[in-house]
A and B are shown apart, each in its own frame.
Chain A
Amino acid sequence: MSAEFDPNAIQGNIVRGYGIHHVRYLMLEVTDRKAAREFLVASLNGENPNVPIIQRETEWEENPEVCFNISLTFPGLQALGVSKKNLATFPIEFRDGMASRALKIGDFGDSAPTKWAPPFDEPDRIHLIASIYSDSEEHLDKVQTQVAEAFNILGTRDGRDLAKSKVVFGYVDSISQPKFKGIHDKSQNKNDELLDPLGTILLGYPTRMEGVYFGIPSPSELGFNGSFNAFRVLSQDASGFENFLTEAAEFLLKHPNLKDVLPPGGARQVGKGFSRKTALREIVAAQIVGRWRNGVPYELSPDTMEPDPKVSLTNFDYNRNSRCPVGAHMRRCNPRGGPIVQRVANLTRRIVRRGMSYGPDFDPKNPDDRERGLLGNFLGANLGAQFEAVMYDWLNLGLQHPDITGSNDPLLGANSVDTSWFDMTTRTGGKIRLHGLPRFVVCRGGAYTFLPSIAAINYLSQLKN
């Protein structure tokens, strides 16, 4: 099936972000099917002032005060009464659920589902994950109270954007993002990457893979225009990360090839007022992600985080002589047009990211170990072809390039200190290997959810059994 795209047919926050800086996620259990269905009816027609209205994908001049959206897990579709026959038409990854796919996506050891925080330790009870976006605490509370009338709230999670669009490790995030033809996203005005086909994110449209369509779950009212999400609560060890940067800088200071990383007198070129140690810490941080912490792509500006003239944040590609390490986080997640082993897979595993940080601010000068991290949403039309494909073959394992095969993502891979390694590139085309990266990011919970279209929410609200 292929159709004209109608923005009013889908929920908001899927093909582009809201630009609101606070979010509350509600993990919900359906305990009264009838009440749940009535809630869905009202969330569409807006006739009950005590039920929040589903925010649709429409362009607005000023942000609404609150945006409410829902997503469903597989047990959630069951709980709402979707027939066995139709349930079986959903893809296997979603039917299994995130906890069952743990080993594949690197959730073992401290990230194992048995160690997940409540309510994620009981994955079968999580039926819906609703999100409330609003910059007013009052609205968040009000909508939460309204939802509690129809569902059992198992738990909530609050997220917020940190100052200057940064994430917990101090990087500016959400720069690279798939963009779709015909959809105008203000926040992506400066993003000059290739457009992605709608089938990357919605079911029922052509994908980047020629001739390939992802299956639409039945009935098509339920499946068409839908999307899938991997919701992840990812705790980030900020002090551990800063300590590692210091250790790596000290290691490089003693390294015989130090001048290939930082020539004598080069520190101030890296960043204003930098000492040699600070400069090395920032070089390591930049190579680990593929961007300097201020967002400047390492590929376009390997010697300084303050290039003059400025460089594009998004318009670049990788090649066999790239300065951006093959193992850098963003090159692993999206190798762009660069050389990869899976020659047909370039640009086919794109992921739309919607995330906010949680927990207290981190001050590198007064480090502490309180829990903080990312409430991440990794969206796509097919969890297996996008999220899992990236997690299993690329972020961990490193199958896309023989030089990194057997190593994990330096930033969030399933690393252990004894075996982990990361190859930095040098100015002379050589490599310096860093060892001893711990696992900086631990999964605290999550769920695979289905993001239903407006027609699908209507379908679910009308089920009779």
Chain B
Amino acid sequence: MSNEESWFGRFVDTLPTKGWFKFLSKYVVTPYWLWKDPKPKLPGGPRVSSQPSDNVQRMMNLIMPLKDPSEIGKARAVMAIAQNVDEIFGGLDNVGTVHFARFVILGDKLCMISVYDGDFSNYIRDFIVTVGSVFDAIMAEIEGGSALIPTEQNVEAFIEWVHEHDLFQAPDFPTELFTLQDQAKGIGPDGPVHDLSTLPRNLVLQFHSNPDISLGGGYRAYPGFSAAQIREKLGVGW
């Protein structure tokens, strides 16, 4: 409809910029649709694939709410990391499958952003096996973190917690969103066909359950190689 070269089409196109329309969609339309068509929270992290090349260089965007988001609380988190950073990076080195990892403080959250190869659970488990006791100091600054300390004795719970706090990765092929939303509701591939024009609306609704998301799989300069393969090729040992 909005593509029609009619006055009405042009009118609809300008709607998103109109104040009254913004107001209406925020307080009436979106809540109404959310009530009518709720979208369960979509799981975080990369999805498993049958393609080996998709199973290396996977992204983790772990977003951890700070217990105390004040300036002082943030500084405490920075201290906890600074005091343990060598051990944490040493631990990541021992895990062996990690390309990059870094910490970011964003608003009231502490983020750990990393690129790793293979299975998420193995990555987190091996990480805890090597530096769990050190990472506990960081978890102590995180909301909900105390329940998981010592992480070494709560490995499964910790893995699930990290998975829950890993950002949902919006698919590279936009229409895959339909499939993921269906899956989350337990609807199989034989479910009803989706009208392509409803994609934007479905994205809007999804933001209600996943307010922060990662956009697609990201850029890779040398796709398909594991960290160890690159190290081997560079002759730096793995």
A: which residues have CB within 8 A of B? Answer: 91-92, 103-104, 106, 108-109, 209-215, 340-345, 348, 382, 384-385, 388-389, 392-393, 396-397, 399, 401-403, 405-408, 414
Q: Is the CB of B122 closer than 8 A to any CB of chain A? A: yes
Known: A211-B132, A211-B133, A405-B228. A388 touches B55 (CB 8 A): no
Contact A384 B231 (CB under 8 A): no
CB distance from B78 to the nearest CB of A (A): 27
Question: In the bound complex, how far is the Cα of B42 from the Cα of A444, in angstroms?
Answer: 30
Q: Which of B22-30, B93-101, B169-177, B204-212 contacts A (4 or more CB under 8 A)?
A: B93-101
CB distance from B121 to the nearest CB of A (A): 5
Interface string of B98-141 (1 = CB under 8 A from A): 00000000000000000001110110011011101100000000
Task: Using A345-B126, A397-B55 as known contacts, list a sample of 8 further A-B pairs with CB atoms less than 8 Å apart, ordered by residue number in A.
Answer: A92-B156, A104-B48, A212-B128, A344-B96, A348-B129, A388-B119, A389-B125, A393-B122
CB distance from B223 to the nearest CB of A (A): 12
Contacts of B49 in A (CB 8 A): 103
Contact A215 B118 (CB under 8 A): no
Known: A342-B95, A393-B122. A399 touches B153 (CB 8 A): no
Question: In the bound complex, how far is the Cα of B154 from the Cα of A104, in angstroms?
Answer: 23
Q: Which residues of chain B in 49-88 are interfacial with respect to chain A, using CB atoms and an 8 Å cutoff?
A: 49-50, 52-53, 55-56
Contact B129 A389 (CB under 8 A): no
Contact B226 A399 (CB under 8 A): yes
Contacts of A408 in B (CB 8 A): 52
Contact B53 A388 (CB under 8 A): no
B: which residues have CB within 8 A of A? Answer: 48-50, 52-53, 55-56, 94-97, 117-119, 121-122, 125-126, 128-130, 132-133, 150, 152-157, 159-160, 224-229, 231-232, 238
CB-nearest residue of chain A to B93: A343
Contact B229 A402 (CB under 8 A): yes
Contacts of B53 in A (CB 8 A): 406
Contact B126 A344 (CB under 8 A): yes
Known: A348-B129, A406-B53. A393 touches B119 (CB 8 A): yes
Known: A212-B129, A341-B97, A402-B228. A384 touches B118 (CB 8 A): no
Question: In the bound complex, how far is the Cα of B189 from the Cα of A108, in angstroms?
Answer: 15
Question: In the bound complex, how far is the Cα of B94 from the Cα of A348, in angstroms?
Answer: 14
Q: Which of A211, A214, A341, A414 has the most CB of B within 10 A?
A: A341
